[in-house]
Structure 1
Amino acid sequence: MPTIPQLAGLDVIDDPDVLEGLSHDEAEWAPYGKALAAVRPRTTDDVRRIVRACAERLIPIIPRGAGTGLSGGANAVDGAMILDLSRMNRIVEIDTGNLTATVQPGVVNNDLKAAVAEHGLWYPPDPASAPWSTIGGNVSTNAGGLCCLKYGVTRDYVLGLEAVVGGPAGDYGTVVRLGRRTTKGVSGYDLTGLFTGSEGTFGIITEITVRLRPARREAPRTVVGAFGSVVAAGEAVAAVTRAGLLPAALELLDRATLRAVEEWKHLGIEADAAALLLAQLDTPGDEEASAVAEVFRASGALWAEQSTDEAEAEALFAARRLAYPAFERLGPVLTEDICVPRSRVPEMLSLIEEIAARHGTAIATIAHAGDGNLHPLIITPAGDDQGRRAAQAAFEEILTAAIGMGGTVTGEHGVGLLKRDGMRQELGAGVLAMQVAIKQTLDPLDLFNPGKVIG
């Protein structure tokens, strides 16, 4: 194993207990190796020095944000250097004249939202992990979130990037700027889009320029619908799409999720239905909210109403964001991230129930239902090896089912380690060969997050 590079002035960590915590994200049962060391840069020049030193010694480099990933994308390999980017957390600029912000990768999503809100602006991408996850991590996985149905995913907001990259063996440590600060521009290939969602496999992102929107003028309205089954809720989702309605968010929570969150946080939520749909509407007036409620009723809702209690509405959306940690406290949770065409949502929800029954495993379901992005949570008692094998088999079967419906194995969490086989099944040999060729061109030494995505 190579020796730790001498990096004067940088915070290099070799304590085994600290390294253990930095060596993996939150993906259940995703393997990880024994890192050589970790380092916490603060500037682009720090990252440049680290990359150059590691390249000279052929040390793999694993970039890490907040470690909130659910696919193993930040997991170490043996002998790797972990780049903990959490201290690169400076908001460089908020440009109100051009509706942009430039940030370092360690800025937390919600911190950016709060900072731009002071200027009457809004950064829409809002993964459930927004209170903890970083913009760099969001860009690396092309994160989505609750509002992506109407306002788009992270890629829709990334205008430009600064990154430390490789190339020919002697060029590791080169700093490049990709994209631009203008709202339009088609000069050359879209390398910014290529890096967005690349999970750190092409280089280390050190600065990000994002587009902003004016803040919403009035508080969104919330419509809640209760359904006798998860599949019935899925039918209502498909009906909303057919009706041409476009909520800012359309979320599904099943009874198991509501109970788990309520038992943990005591938000005052009554789980009196098999599933709830939460629609958030921000078009001025009540017409759109009334139309969504009517579609819910026509689709068989037990009841559907516009919430007049702002605290109640906030509690329901809080439950959606707290779903994963609520189950995680009860035992291992294997989290899916499939996305299917919206018309196939009811069918996919029914298949998930069948798969759970067939494998004898508990599966709770939450979803960004409006865009077909489903998050089945496969729950297993701690220490239950047979249950773990059943959960992993169910996980793979759900991936295959999503592909069979014309869907994808990951809508926003990334491929990482857990979905490599599913990705190969989804994309086919020709597309995989193209992806391998891009990786080999940009990272010929295979030092940037090796083993992830294409494996």
Structure 2
Amino acid sequence: MTRNDARTLEELKAALPAEVLTTNPDTMEAYRRDRANDPNPGMPLVVVRPTTTEQVQTVVRIAAANGTPIVPRGAGSSLSGGSTAVDGAITLSVDRMNTITVDTSTRTLTTGPGAINAEVKAAAAEHGLWYPPDPASFEFCSIGGNIATNAGGLCCVKYGVTTDYVLGMTVVLADGRAIRLGGPKLKDVAGLSLTKLFVGSEGTLGIITEVTLRLVPAQRQPTTLVATFPTLEAATNTVIDVSRTMRPSMAEFMDRTTINAVEDETRMGLDREAAAMLIFQSDEAGDHAQTEILEIERLCHHHGATECYATADPDEGAAFIQARRMAIPAVEKTGAILLEDVGVPVPRLGDLVSGIAAIARKHEVSIPVLAHAGDGNTHPLVVFDPTDEAMKDRAERAYGEIIDLAISLDGTITGEHGIGRMKRPWLVDQLGEDVMELNQRIKDALDPQGILNPGSVFAMRPETQVHVVAGGQQ
């Protein structure tokens, strides 16, 4: 431990309640990795679990005064290494900041960043309201993490992503000031759109300690359609045709390998021979949902679907959606995975899916694909044996080629999981030098010492790594 580390620890212990701080290495082990499972995480100097904005301010002021990096962390469900620990840094976990209040008069919900997405949905439902952002991991991902990566999910094809529901927030800046942005008003164009700037910033610009979310009336019970196809092309062409004239509330895709992994877990009778399966839902009012599903079914048959099954039964529909939600955990049981999050314009979806299949053949690795097909956001899962160095190398090369493919199709290297540490090397390839430089200028303006989540999205500064004391006031 350096002298600077010791000073930081001493000041934190003097300023915060003892129960907020954790320095035991065995306990801190659980905070080193997130769900991306980085094989080389750092060891935190200390884990801090604050309960108030004021405590977060104290941590940041001490860190700024000593030049100590801070890694913000929510539920640790990041799939891009966004909350991987850094050696000698403070891991600031907001999991205890999870109080939820609902205001039905403004149809808003105010919560701490540590609240779980499912808890927010449940609190809204108690008042006949709904919080639509719906990641497959909604049962264990935090609202703070959702905001950090601008998470989407299964319903975003119709209802939008996290940023569409964030009305305001309290943010602790890199110098320890707490600012309030936005609030429970639906229209507000005063000043620059700073609230939106922090959504998707992955903890690199400030630490969110409270957020005000927009709620909508409860969703109508949807009608569900499940269709299987003999080829990937038939399935993706169906999605493209549906997207031309309709906006279903869900349009999900699973390929054969994913279907089989899910069937191994559920034994629900999914067609193991199908090349692909699409799951559509419509929540239009009255008879309109059935009309929309019938038209989608017609398009499925037009493109050669081998089977279509429609149901308005809520339990049956929920079973198919649960099968889709468990796809990633099911594939994870078949080997280690490098999880992608690439997206393309919907008309290029077929090119992306077929291109991924070609990359899998080239590198002799399995790459199951599932997707929020209605908005072109795919999750290829590069599966490999971590004890086989040659296979691991092929998997890593395949991972990079998938990212390159998405960029070449005018797509994105991340639709909802964020850049984190895993995708940082490719960010400039998508943005270009000028836009990357503009991103860096904003980062430097809000975090001039580079102490907030160093190494995530932006390259870690050498002076941050060695903890040079620089500026800041306490």
* TM-score > 0.5 by shorter chain: yes
Counterpart in 1 of 2:283?
Answer: 282
Equivalent pair of 1:239/1:299 in contact (CA under 8 Å):
no
Counterpart in 1 of 2:308?
Answer: 304
Q: How far off is 1:215 after superposition?
A: 0.5
Counterpart in 1 of 2:69?
Answer: 60
Unaligned runs of 5+ in 1: 167-171
* Greater shift in the superposed pair: 345-354 or 17-26: 17-26
AA aligned to 1:199 is: E
Q: How far off is 1:406 after superposition?
A: 0.6
Q: For residues 344 and 182 of structure 1, what CA distance do their matches in structure 2 show?
A: 37
Does structure 1 residue 145 correspond to structure 2 residue 133? no
Q: How far off is 1:269 after superposition?
A: 3.6
Taking structure 1 as the reference length, the TM-score comes to: 0.96
Matches within 5 A, 1:79-90: 79-90=88-99
Counterpart in 2 of 1:22?
Answer: 31
Q: For residues 346 and 28 of structure 1, what CA distance do their matches in structure 2 show?
A: 30
* 1:230-266 deviations in Å (ceiling 9; x for gaps): 2321111111112x11111100012221221232344
Does structure 1 residue 366 correspond to structure 2 residue 374? no
Equivalent pair of 1:30/1:417 in contact (CA under 8 Å):
no
Counterpart in 2 of 1:169?
Answer: none
Q: For residues 391 and 107 of structure 1, what CA distance do their matches in structure 2 show?
A: 35
AA aligned to 1:150 is: K
Q: How far off is 1:31 after superposition?
A: 3.8
Matches within 5 A, 1:85-124: 85-91=94-100, 93-124=101-132
Does structure 1 residue 385 correspond to structure 2 residue 393? no
AA aligned to 2:261 is: A
AA aligned to 2:67 is: L
Counterpart in 2 of 1:40?
Answer: 49
Q: For residues 11 and 159 of structure 1, what CA distance do their matches in structure 2 show?
A: 29
Equivalent pair of 2:159/2:249 in contact (CA under 8 Å):
yes
Equivalent pair of 2:221/2:314 in contact (CA under 8 Å):
no
* 1:89-117 deviations in Å (ceiling 9; x for gaps): 110x2111111111000000011101110
Which residue of 185, 189, 193 corresponds with 1:186?
A: 189
Q: For residues 149 and 16 of structure 2, what CA distance do their matches in structure 1 show?
A: 31
AA aligned to 1:100 is: T
* 1:429-452 deviations in Å (ceiling 9; x for gaps): 100111111001100111110111
Equivalent pair of 2:44/2:85 in contact (CA under 8 Å):
yes
SS in 2 for 1:276: strand
Equivalent pair of 1:30/1:72 in contact (CA under 8 Å):
no
Q: How far off is 1:14 after superposition?
A: 1.3
AA aligned to 2:103 is: D
SS in 2 for 1:434: helix
Q: For residues 173 and 268 of structure 2, what CA distance do their matches in structure 1 show?
A: 46
Counterpart in 2 of 1:204?
Answer: 207
Equivalent pair of 1:71/1:419 in contact (CA under 8 Å):
yes
Taking structure 2 as the reference length, the TM-score comes to: 0.92
Equivalent pair of 2:16/2:55 in contact (CA under 8 Å):
no
* 1:384-443 deviations in Å (ceiling 9; x for gaps): 221111111111101111111110000000000111122110001100111111001100
Matches within 5 A, 1:329-408: 329-408=333-412
Q: For residues 90 and 406 of structure 1, what CA distance do their matches in structure 2 show?
A: 41
Counterpart in 1 of 2:229?
Answer: 227
Identity %: 44
Equivalent pair of 1:28/1:333 in contact (CA under 8 Å):
no
* Greater shift in the superposed pair: 8-17 or 100-109: 8-17
AA aligned to 1:316 is: F
SS in 2 for 1:173: coil
Q: For residues 201 and 192 of structure 2, what CA distance do their matches in structure 1 show?
A: 16
Residues 302, 269 of structure 1: alpha-carbon distance in 2 compared, 3 angstrom cutoff = closer
Matches within 5 A, 1:310-321: 310-321=314-325
AA aligned to 1:151 is: Y
* 1:134-191 deviations in Å (ceiling 9; x for gaps): 100000000000000000000000000101112xxxxx21110012321001111111
Counterpart in 2 of 1:438?
Answer: 442
AA aligned to 2:117 is: N
Does structure 1 residue 159 correspond to structure 2 residue 167? yes
Say what the alpha-carbon RMSD is for the aligned residues: 1.3
- Aligned residue pairs, count: 447
Q: How far off is 1:331 after superposition?
A: 2.1
Q: For residues 16 and 73 of structure 1, what CA distance do their matches in structure 2 show?
A: 21
AA aligned to 1:259 is: N
Q: For residues 127 and 428 of structure 1, what CA distance do their matches in structure 2 show?
A: 29
SS in 2 for 1:188: coil
Q: For residues 382 and 261 of structure 1, what CA distance do their matches in structure 2 show?
A: 22
Q: For residues 380 and 262 of structure 1, what CA distance do their matches in structure 2 show?
A: 20
Which residue of 223, 240, 243 corresponds with 2:242?
A: 240
Counterpart in 1 of 2:468?
Answer: none
Counterpart in 2 of 1:259?
Answer: 260
SS in 2 for 1:132: coil
Q: How far off is 1:381 after superposition?
A: 1.8
Equivalent pair of 1:162/1:175 in contact (CA under 8 Å):
yes
Q: For residues 419 and 19 of structure 1, what CA distance do their matches in structure 2 show?
A: 25
